[in-house]
Structure 1
Amino acid sequence: MALVWRLRRRTVLLLPLLGVALFPPEAGSSFSHSLRYFCTSVSEPGEGLPQFIAVGYLDNQVICRYDSNCRRSSAQAPWMEKADAQFWNTETEIMQFKEEEVREHLTTLMHHYNQSEGFHTLQVMYGCELRGDRSKGGYYQYAYDGRDFISLDKETLTWVAADVQSQILKRRWDANPLIADFTKAYLEETCIEWLKKNLDNGKETLLRSEPPVGKVTRRAVGGGNEVLICQAHGFYPKEIETTWRKGEEILEHETFRRNIAPNYDGTYHTWLSIEIDPKERDLYLCHMDHVSLPEPLVLAFKEPGDNIIFIVGATSGILATLMLVSGLVFFIQKRQTKLKKWPEICQYPGDSKIPRVSSVGSDCSTKPLHPEDDGYSSSESNQNSTKELLA
């Protein structure tokens, strides 16, 4: 599967296209979780750009970081701090080995390409996935100077070369089958084990579910037609199934979709549109199915003015209620002025448990009894982005 690899002098960006193993086509019907790493080695490091840098992601959230300057893996998510010292020591050892390995490969490739100097890069992307049906996925890929270079075919345990120069490395690695065997074992066993462990540490964040908020809008297009746009935002996890329907018919071929994208708060948003004849507008419905919903959310387009009557009615009701409350308060205050004595509960200075009756206007120097005085306390409720690490 093709990847987009972009590298700048000061900033490293690794942007895989949707469709790789981490995002299976059946996503939406069940949970899937992934653990993946992006590693980059450069021939000419500079200020703000280490010679080697690696970032780990769990379900698209940054969880750890390593670079050649500090030479130690560190937590990048609060819940990753739950991991013990042995975990971080092992993670650091793996990344130190990976740093040396990738730098050696970069030097070798520069020699093969007759590039003794200049700015060159070698990038590695690998990871594993645990799908909702308990099946496993994984991949291991290299890119040189922003182009696909070589990758592992996990089924045949062979390496797939992307160009003539990568054939040299392919023949060398294929001649040593232990390299492919070890890589497959890591992706299907060790990586999955770490994925489960990290999920357990971050389950309050990663295993939560937040329902989508949806709405349908429209805009006119040429030929007298219009486009209906169905938007869903604020949902988590990422998997969601959205469709346009006309009656019972699912209009997949007529639908234009936008890729699911992250929000700043860790949730996601997406939209889908369809071009229709305005005369048939009422026949089209947008369906959203998400794990957080007890049943699919079904939306139709409504003119902005459809809610005016409701809003006016609600406003009138609120005003009437306020007038009634004001009248009652006035009545009670007027009634109280006619009473010369009104009981009030006070505390004795020496005994907070004994109530005392006094009169309004008397010198009651102690405060009225409150539930807190008897040992009671009121309860308070407490209430957690995708950090973009490489910028």
Structure 2
Amino acid sequence: MRGLSGARWLLGAAALLLAGDPFTSSHAHHTLHYFFTGVSEPGQGLPHFTIVGYLDDQQFVRYDSDARRDLPRAPWIRKVEQEDPQYWDWQTQLSRSWELYFRVTLWSRFNHSQGLHVWQWMHGCELDTDGRKGGHSQFGYDGKDFLSLDKETLTWTAADSRAQVTKRRWEADRVWTEGRKNFLEGDCIKWLQKYLDYGKETLLRTEPPVVTVASKASYGGLERLTCQAYGFYPKEIEATWIKDGESLEAETYRGSVSPNSDGTYYTWLSIEINPEERDLYRCHVEHDGLSEALDVAWKAPASVGLLVGCILGAVTVLILLVTGVVFCIRK
């Protein structure tokens, strides 16, 4: 159904925003994003209205039209209650106002056909560790882009002809459009910094990647080298294949940066090579958890015979040690 495709659009867009572009830089940045979803016919596990908030890749708050209250989703966000005991009350009132906006404004001013339809709104801000800031506000309808804000010109970019009417209405309403820009450049950055302070033990930690290189035969006499980096945090990482000091970006196949169950990340990159030149290749990795960049080469695995020999040797030593202890006890 079209509504389900809308839900997939939201999840896909959320994944892209949370993942970012992990291979362009190892430079850390932090994000605060809110994802709003409104459906015309609640059901199939979807409430009529939902808001989910993420700091970096961690969900910290959720509101929906069933519970009708903002609820914490990360332990560290409870620290806000020490500074403002009324925080959850006024956040809940704000969320209820947005629910009313979706019900009254978005649904009533847009002609819909029968069936399930979905509105989505993504907005949030980014802050680099060097002080650079950014922000975006984007609406989607039934799984497709609808309108996105240009903060510099205070205009809305329409994705199709159906969005033109809303575009003109919002551009005429300067209070609405300027309000979105002011939030992205002001309150959003302020709360991002405050939330980061609450969750710094989790969100500002660094864990270095473990990097390994494996080899596998490929087609046409070629060989595929695969570099795996895992167990790292934060998710920003720079990894590339190099040969004689030259980056081989065009020849590299990449996997996405994906989460582990323990909150760290893993990724991989591979390249097809001439086996005779294997020793010239290095997997170059940079990450905030590393004191210096890694250049990892393929290493031949230990032979089975050598491994068996080592095991037998260890067993022999253990038997001799036990025999000696028993002999001493009897003596």
Q: Which region of structure 1 is more displaced relative to structure 2, 249-258 or 24-33?
A: 24-33
Q: Is the 8 A contact 1:158 1:174 kept in 2?
A: yes
User: For residue 233 of structure 1, what is the aligned residue in structure 2?
Assistant: 230
- Structure 1 Cα separation of the partners of residues 210 and 225 of structure 2: 17
Is 1:62 the equivalent of 2:59?
yes
Question: Which runs of structure 2 are paired with 1:56-95 in the superposition (5 Å)?
Answer: 56-84=53-81, 85-95=85-95
Q: Is the 8 A contact 1:160 1:170 kept in 2?
A: yes
- Structure 2 Cα separation of the partners of residues 181 and 131 of structure 1: 24
Shift of 1:318: 6.9
Q: Is the 8 A contact 1:6 1:14 kept in 2?
A: no
Q: How many pairs were matched up? A: 327
CA offsets per residue over residues 51-107 of structure 1, 9 Å max, x none? 001111111111111001111100111222222133222321221111111223431
Q: Which amino acid aligns with 1:187?
A: L
- Structure 1 Cα separation of the partners of residues 257 and 24 of structure 2: 12
* Partner residue of 1:242 out of 239, 242, 245: 239
Shift of 1:285: 0.9
Is 1:293 the equivalent of 2:293?
no
Is 1:103 the equivalent of 2:103?
yes
Q: Which amino acid aligns with 1:163?
A: D
Q: Is the 8 A contact 2:3 2:117 kept in 1?
A: no
CA offsets per residue over residues 100-156 of structure 1, 9 Å max, x none? 112234313542x5x2x3111111111111112111111111001111000100121
Shift of 1:47: 5.7
Q: Which region of structure 1 is more displaced relative to structure 2, 312-321 or 289-298?
A: 312-321
Structure 2, unaligned stretches of length 5 or more? Answer: none
Structure 1, unaligned stretches of length 5 or more? Answer: 336-391
- Structure 2 Cα separation of the partners of residues 70 and 62 of structure 1: 17
Question: Compared with structure 1, are the counterparts of its residues 18 and 72 closer, same or farther at alpha carbon in structure 2 (3 Å cutoff)?
Answer: closer
Question: Percent of aligned pairs with the same residue?
Answer: 48
User: For residue 383 of structure 1, what is the aligned residue in structure 2?
Assistant: none
Q: Which amino acid aligns with 2:99?
A: E
Q: TM-score, normalised by structure 2?
A: 0.89
Shift of 1:13: 5.1
Q: Is the 8 A contact 1:211 1:292 kept in 2?
A: yes
Q: Is the 8 A contact 1:21 1:139 kept in 2?
A: no
Question: Which runs of structure 2 are paired with 1:1-391 in the superposition (5 Å)?
Answer: 7=4, 14-16=11-13, 23=20, 28-46=25-43, 48-84=45-81, 85-108=85-108, 110-111=110-111, 113=112, 115=113, 117-305=114-302, 309=306, 312-313=309-310, 316-317=313-314, 319-320=316-317, 323-324=320-321, 327-328=324-325, 330-331=327-328, 333-334=329-330
- Structure 1 Cα separation of the partners of residues 158 and 274 of structure 2: 50
CA offsets per residue over residues 263-288 of structure 1, 9 Å max, x none? 22221111111111111111111111
Shift of 1:300: 1.5
Q: Higher relative contact order at CA 8 Å, sep ≥6: structure 1 or structure 2?
A: 2
SS at match of 2:11: strand
CA RMSD of aligned residues (A): 2.7
- Structure 2 Cα separation of the partners of residues 145 and 257 of structure 1: 31
Question: Compared with structure 1, are the counterparts of its residues 26 and 265 closer, same or farther at alpha carbon in structure 2 (3 Å cutoff)?
Answer: closer
- Structure 1 Cα separation of the partners of residues 109 and 313 of structure 2: 76
Shift of 1:249: 1.1
Q: Which region of structure 1 is more displaced relative to structure 2, 251-260 or 24-33?
A: 24-33
- Structure 2 Cα separation of the partners of residues 57 and 249 of structure 1: 38
Shift of 1:257: 1.4
Runs of 4+ in 1 over 6 A off after TM superposition: 9-12
Q: Is the 8 A contact 2:124 2:137 kept in 1?
A: yes
Shift of 1:225: 1.0
SS at match of 1:79: helix
